[in-house]
Structure 1
């Protein structure tokens, strides 16, 4: 299982404790370090960079509204489809209302001494909007739990001829050595 935008790693650590093979990725070094301290495996990496196991993951998680990563839901869905094995499952948490918006946002932590982070593109989608972008995916379910909304989508059960002819992607190596700069000294906010 691959948790994209794993943040402080609560899901990665919980799934690992239950014996599941799981990897978290996040662009924040502090988030990755926290995930590892909690007992999970994580890489400091963008979902749009080369990742281990591309095309072989059974499940990808986009929790906490991470369907908004990059501000382009169609591009993110295409990328996730390339990470999953044929017939693989995407589980995404969506906004509680039918919304489809784009913005540049900033992450502000409670102890952030600079006040704000650098702006980055983000999207906010409700389940109906996600399903509109999910052309080529099969609906696998949708539900609400504790006031949070989720949608599950499956990739096609086989790759198209054009995608199977693509050259293999570079593989990334999981390393326990990371750069000491943890998000410019900013703490990772609780998620």
Structure 2
């Protein structure tokens, strides 16, 4: 899971989510492979974070999403890297990004490719990804679904696929939260700074996605988790480019196996 701020107009400014998701409760949970870890709302309500599942191998629900992936895959908020590793083991060209150094380190240790970067920073292969993943609650990144989905559409190739996990309820919530390890005040690390987050059910996600040329392709449930895939319009021209093409070339050429199929957006590139 990852988080990032809603103002894309100041990419050169420090990103607040680096401080939040780099704090000890999250980093320690990933290093230890278990929680407890929560997102705490300002009213005290706690959302448990499933660190043990994130740090395990991809399960049946994960595989139901990964089986739908097409072409090169970008996993936004890759966490400790189980999905990137599973995709690589299946021959996909996959890259994870996360604002947590601990998450990126663990992904690399699993043999996956990962960058310590926010989704709103310049990224390799913008406009050429066959599939983008927003799993494990990452549709909440930044607390602004419209902004996140706009950015996701920029990253996808025309006709590319967004595979997202949604809340099982019909919910559309934007809140301020803090990372919380469940320990009593004074017994653990200092409290993390609050940051914006969102929780979306499938209906809300579909509403926000449509104006950005993302249209429903499939919906399914697996092991109590809800997923949706959306396809980007093939006729929408993506003018976003990474300002550092040398970096894009280095990542795409050197970190991914060269097994791109003819139907991939990167075939022959």
TM-score in same-fold range (> 0.5): yes
**1:8 and 2:90 correspond:** no
Task: For 1:99-114, list aligned pairs within 5 A.
Answer: 99-109=171-181, 113-114=188-189
Gaps of 5+ in 1: 175-191
What is the match of residue 197 of structure 2? Answer: 122
- TM-superposed CA distance for 1:73, in Å, is 0.3
- Partner Cα distance (2:174, 2:109) in 1: 34
Which structure has the bigger radius of gyration?
Answer: 2
Contact 1:2 1:57 in 2 (8 A): yes
**1:21 and 2:93 correspond:** yes
Contact 2:167 2:199 in 1 (8 A): yes
Contact 1:71 1:121 in 2 (8 A): yes
The alpha-carbon distance between structure 1 residues 110 and 15, as it changes in their structure 2 partners (threshold 3 A), is: farther
- Partner Cα distance (1:38, 1:153) in 2: 29
Gaps of 5+ in 2: 1-72, 252-269
- Partner Cα distance (1:113, 1:85) in 2: 44
Contact 2:125 2:242 in 1 (8 A): no
Number of aligned residue pairs: 170
Contact 2:177 2:195 in 1 (8 A): yes
- Partner Cα distance (2:94, 2:188) in 1: 33
Task: For 1:155-174, list aligned pairs within 5 A.
Answer: 155-160=232-237, 163-164=238-239, 168-171=241-244, 172=247, 174=251
Equivalent of 1:47 in 95, 113, 119: 119
- TM-superposed CA distance for 1:18, in Å, is 1.5
Provide TM-score, normalisation by structure 1.
0.83
Q: Which has the higher helix share?
A: 2
Provide TM-score, normalisation by structure 2.
0.60
User: What secondary structure, in the 3-state scheme, does the structure 2 residue paired with 1:70 have?
Assistant: helix
- Partner Cα distance (1:98, 1:123) in 2: 13
Equivalent of 2:228 in 151, 157, 160: 151
- Partner Cα distance (1:131, 1:109) in 2: 32
**1:37 and 2:112 correspond:** no
